[in-house]
Amino acid sequence: MSVSATAAPGAAARLRRGLLQGLPLGPAVVLLAVFLAGPILYCLYSAFTDMALTGASGAHFVGFDNFRKAFSSVEFRQSLLYTLIFTILSAVIGQNILGMVLALLMRSGTAWVRAVVSAIVIGAWVMPEVVAGYLWSAFLGDDGSLNRFLGLLSLPAQDWLFSIPILAVSLANIWRGTAFSMLVYSAALSEVPKEIEESATMDGAGTAQRLWSVTLPMIRRSITTNLMLITLQTLSVFGLIWTMTRGGPSNRSETLPLFAYQQAFQLSQLGYGTALALVLLAIGAVFSLVYLKALRLEDHR
Amino acid sequence: MSSLLTAHASRRLVDKVLVDLALLVVAAGFVVPLLWLLLGAFNARAGLAVTWPHPWTLHNFHAILTFETTYRPMLNGAILCGGGTLLTVVASVLAAYPLSRYQFRAKRPFLLTILFATGLPITAIMVPVYGMFVQVNLIDTLTGTILFMATTALPISIWLTKNFMDGVPLELEQAAWTDGASVMQGLRSIVLPLMWPGLSVVTIYTFIGLWGNFFVPFVLLSSNDRLPASVSIYTFFGQYGQVVYGQLAAYSMLYSLPAVLLYLLLSRRLGGAFSFGGAVKG
């Protein structure tokens, strides 16, 4: 009895102190719960209804109908394919490799060249995405600079935004996003000890061999992290594609975000649009978990 | 022996020149699309293709510098992004303090959740957010949009702020406490001044991100007089049948300027761009 009497106030005081210490977390937790967890839960609910954009009162539970409709629709499967092409072409191949090449070259470039190049590449990154969209529309358009240039070389001109829209938006995304990979890889490479690379050269390794078997393995973790981050960023690109092609022509650059937007807002099928958004969210969640896993591995080593 | 050395040195020189050339070629590729913006804005007869301004003019800027076309969207953008950034930074600093200074059981799961949330594609939740905002009457309000924008920036901002705060040694604070300062006083007068460079990275990074954001205000706001610069630029195409490209370029330039200037400030303050990569790497 006496034991619990002394223990109780101690526990209460500890609880009070714990709450007081945790108090500063309040504003952030409230914001995240209301405006991030809230919409995700709402998404989970409305994806299973036939909610329309206009009368929200007439929402009925429809089970997996929206998902069945999605996976049996050609348009949806097409948008998944375009999302995949866009992500691989612009993030995994374009931004990732170009960023790595730039970071590697930067190490042995002259100081002023390095300064100029990084200012320009980062400048492209800082540009708002809508402006980047217009720049590239102007560059690739029918009367655009690229066609003028091809004309000078007597090569056939074409409306790139019309003939291969997915390549056009991918190029724009490479232009806009390469700086991120370049910065991540530059930071990673700066931590690779020079002695290790030098001793590999002493042992007679060529440049390519040294890169492949010494340098790249040492920054392996940064490569994984970067790949996950740029994939996630690319999955949620909307404004860039919207300003350049609006997903067209005839949906040939319509990635999942644009498809969901169109179904929800232009065709007023909020329930269906939400179900599509949930698919995108699930794909994003998987990549985000892989990213977490990659970061956690480091803790154990 | 000496000829071998000079051969080696000249090979190194050739290598260096080749590397510089390769870098400059890539940079040229990045500059070409930008030229349209820089030259078109000053060109009286700008079209889609890049041409040398003929004649040079400031007319494009005169034409767009009106309340409706430029000043109001910029002001709205400043209110939205300024408000969102302020809210994000204050909430992040408060949240980072217990995460950096105390040990508690929920800390690791909380941090993992935050890190997980930094990866979630915000684009995906815009449809449900719209539905939710309609039901609670937050749709087409600046307040609702600010609150949501702040939340989207919060996970990465908390993460970065916590890492920067970890770099401030606890001993200095403890000395202040023995002098009778409260925890919050210690945070304000000891911790914040010492992590000022890190905090400015978070602030500017958040602001640039929100300033460039198109989709969130595009979905959540609809009244013309509330649209920020990122969305109203888009009316250049819809409203008038014929697009005046010179004016579009001039407007794009003005709209991009705050982001570019803030970035320059950031890189100057931190001495080079690469600290940014380190910060992002986490």
Tell me the backbone φ, ψ of residue A49, rounded to 5 degrees: -125, 170
Encode chain A (301 residues) as per-residue pLDDT tens digits.
344 444 456 788 888 887 888 888 999 999 999 999 999 998 888 888 887 776 555 677 888 888 888 888 888 999 999 999 999 999 999 999 999 999 999 988 888 888 889 889 998 998 899 999 988 988 888 778 888 888 888 888 778 888 889 999 999 999 999 999 998 898 888 888 888 877 877 787 777 888 888 888 888 888 888 898 899 899 989 999 998 888 878 888 899 999 999 888 888 888 888 899 899 999 988 888 888 887 765 544 3
Question: Which residues on chain A are in Cβ contact (under 8 Å) with B126?
Answer: 261, 277
Question: Which residues on chain B are in Cβ contact (under 8 Å) with A141?
Answer: 48
Token readout for B32 is: 């070409």
Q: How far is A255 from chain B (nearest CA, A)?
A: 12
Question: Which residues on chain B are in Cβ contact (under 8 Å) with A184?
Answer: 277, 280-281
How many Å apart are CA B43 and CA B63, to the nearest integer? 13
Name the average pLDDT for chain B.
84
Q: How far is A195 from chain B (nearest CA, A)?
A: 18
How many Å apart are CA B277 and CA A191, to the nearest integer? 12
Residues 9-28 on B with a CB inside 8 Å of A are 15-16, 19-20, 22-24, 26-27
How many Å apart are CA B18 and CA B31, to the nearest integer? 20
Query: Which residues have C-beta within 8 Å of that of residue A53, sequence separation ≥ 6?
Result: A264, A265, A268, A269, A270
Chain B: residue whose CA lies nearest to A111: B20
Per-domain boundaries in chain B: 60-281
What mean pLDDT comes out for the span B128-132?
A: 88
The verdict on B271 touching A (C-beta cutoff 8 Å) is: no
Query: Which residues have C-beta within 8 Å of that of residue B262, sequence separation ≥ 6?
Result: B204, B207, B208
Q: What pTM was estimated for this model as a whole?
A: 0.87
Consecutive H or E run containing B241? none
Report the pLDDT value the prediction gives residue B241, as an integer from 0 to 100: 56
**Yes or no, beta carbons of B125 and A135 under 8 Å apart:** no
Residues 118-177 on A with a CB inside 8 Å of B are 118, 120-124, 126-131, 134-139, 141-145, 147-148, 175
Quickly list DSSP for B97-158.
HHHHH---TTHHHHHHHHHHHHHS-HHHHHHHHHHHHHHTT-TT-HHHHHHHHHHHHHHHHH
**Yes or no, beta carbons of B116 and A288 under 8 Å apart:** yes
> Which among B50, B121, B234 is the nearest to A243, CB-wise?
B234
Residue type, B269: R
Angle (CA) A234-A235-A237 rounded to 5° is 60
Report the pLDDT value the prediction gives residue B275, as an integer from 0 to 100: 47
**Yes or no, beta carbons of B214 and A42 under 8 Å apart:** no
How many Å apart are CA B73 and CA A149, to the nearest integer? 36
pLDDT-based confidence at residue B151 (cuts at 50, 70, 90): very high
Report the pLDDT value the prediction gives residue B256, as an integer from 0 to 100: 92
The tally of CA atoms less than 13 A away on the side-chain side of residue B88 is: 34
**Yes or no, beta carbons of A235 and B218 under 8 Å apart:** no
Report the pLDDT value the prediction gives residue A5, as an integer from 0 to 100: 44
Render pLDDT for B189-245 as a digit per residue (tens, 0 to 9). 888 888 888 888 899 889 999 999 999 999 999 888 898 988 888 777 655 556 778
User: Is CATH 1.10.3720.10 the right assignment for the domain spanning B60-281?
Assistant: yes
| ipTM metric | 0.85
**pLDDT above 90 for B24:** yes
Q: Yes or no: say if B163 and B186 are a contact pair by the CB < 8 Å rule.
A: no
Is B65 exposed, middle or buried, given 0-12, 13-18 or 19+ CB atoms closer than 10 A? middle
Q: Yes or no: say if B83 and B204 are a contact pair by the CB < 8 Å rule.
A: no
Kindly tell me the sign of the dihedral angle through the C-alpha atoms of B265, B270, B271, B277: negative
Angle (CA) A54-A57-A61 rounded to 5° is 105
Query: Which residues have C-beta within 8 Å of that of residue A238, sequence separation ≥ 6?
Result: A257, A258, A261, B123, B214, B215
The tally of CA atoms less than 13 A away on the side-chain side of residue A152 is: 5
Q: How far is B86 from chain A (nearest CA, A)?
A: 13
Q: Yes or no: say if B6 and B14 are a contact pair by the CB < 8 Å rule.
A: no
Q: Yes or no: say if A103 and A179 are a contact pair by the CB < 8 Å rule.
A: no
Closest-CA residue to A275 (of A76, A54, A57): A76
What mean pLDDT comes out for the span B140-157?
A: 94
Over the Cα atoms of chain A, what is R_g? Answer: 25
Q: Where are the beta strands (DSSP E) in chain A?
A: none
Strand partners, A49: A61
Residues 200-219 on A with a CB inside 8 Å of B are none
Give, rounded to a whole angstrom, the gap between the first and last alpha carbons of chain A: 48
Region of B131 on the Ramachandran plot (φ > 0 left; ψ -120 to 50 alpha; else beta): alpha
How many CB atoms lie under 10 A from the CB of residue B72?
Answer: 18
Is B277 exposed, middle or buried, given 0-12, 13-18 or 19+ CB atoms closer than 10 A? buried
The verdict on B67 touching A (C-beta cutoff 8 Å) is: no
* CB pairs < 8 Å spanning A and B: 285
Report the pLDDT value the prediction gives residue B4, as an integer from 0 to 100: 60
Token readout for A177 is: 């996003």
Give the residue carrying structure tokens 């375009």. Answer: A82
SS3 B256: helix
Report the pLDDT value the prediction gives residue B196, as an integer from 0 to 100: 85
Closest-CA residue to B222 (of B142, B282, B112): B142
Over A247-269, what HEC string results? CCCCCCCCCHHHHHHHHHHHCCC
Residue type, A134: Y
> Among A221-225, B26-30, B189-193, B276-280, which is the least confidently predicted range?
B276-280
State how far the alpha carbon of A57 is from the alpha carbons of A49, A51, A60, B104, in Å: 11, 8, 9, 44
Task: Name which CATH class applies to A65-300.
Answer: mainly alpha
- Best mutation target, A23, A86, A130, A149, to test chain B (most B CBs within 10 A): A130
In chain B, pLDDT over 90 holds for what percent of residues? Answer: 28
Q: How far is B122 from chain A (nearest CA, A)?
A: 7
Q: How far is B262 from chain A (nearest CA, A)?
A: 10
- Best mutation target, B90, B94, B127, to test chain A (most A CBs within 10 A): B127
How many Å apart are CA A278 and CA B121, to the nearest integer? 11
